[in-house]
Structure 1
Amino acid sequence: MSKRTDKRPIHVLLVEDNPADAELATEVLHEGPLPKIVHTVEDGLEALSFLRREARFAEAPRPGLIVLDLNMPRLDGRKFLSIVKSDPDLRGIPVVVLTSSEAPKDIDVCYDLQASSCIPKPLDLPSLLGVMTAFESYWFGAAVLPTSGG
């Protein structure tokens, strides 16, 4: 049951370079009870431009949640997370890392960099659907997101 009474859509920034994973995540996010608008970018550089409202993202809304892949070209998730969490204007946005890595060092780095959550991404579709459904239920059902996010 959602604790959110505001019916405005929640803006989610999905940072994912794999088009199939991005499409699946977007579909699952739209299945939940709360309205969501998912904005997808392919890497950390595009995500920073979105958050800073630069260039083609000049009218971008502030997301209520960021879903972040770790391993991406140009600017990877670790560096992106470090930049976001050191920026006073951005650090309050929850960042959930969704990664194919289950290496303890990768998980530890995510939390060291102040990720709100780190979720290993299963490789098979049924398990991935289960993880994404649980993710949606927690972040948009049980958790309360910051009110300053879209």
Structure 2
Amino acid sequence: MRALVQRVRRASVTVDGETISAIGPGLLVLLGITHDDDAAGADRLAGKVRALRIFEDAEGKMNESLGDGREVLVVSQFTLYGDTRKGNRPSFIGAARPEVAEPLYERFRTRLGAQGGRFGAHMEVELVNDGPVTLLVELP
């Protein structure tokens, strides 16, 4: 499981011209799920994302975690497992099939108390990055 975590001033997801989720200051998480992922991994990764100290404290140092005053938006992103080592067209065989990925995506999102995109839909994701601060988070 991989999470591309972006600290944002705001972010939203639109499907078919309708905004289905929008947040203010917090995190936009693009979540990729592979074949070997499971519920325990989703829980651990959600805990890791919640605990990341990537927000400034009173002294301007990245020392604060998500806390209660910030929001999270999670978007399923199978393309995080796109493999371009051979040729120019990405292969997505590393991404989990929808019947495996969707329940894990929902579990991860629920553990964070996050809003979400629409699994499997063509989504327009808008964000105003804060910093910019963007991290790739994976568990061993």
Higher relative contact order (CA 8 A, sep 6+): 2
Q: Point out the structure with max Rg over C-alpha.
A: 2
Larger strand percent: 2
Larger helix percent: 1
Please, what TM-score do these two structures have when normalized by structure 1? 0.25
Please, what TM-score do these two structures have when normalized by structure 2? 0.26
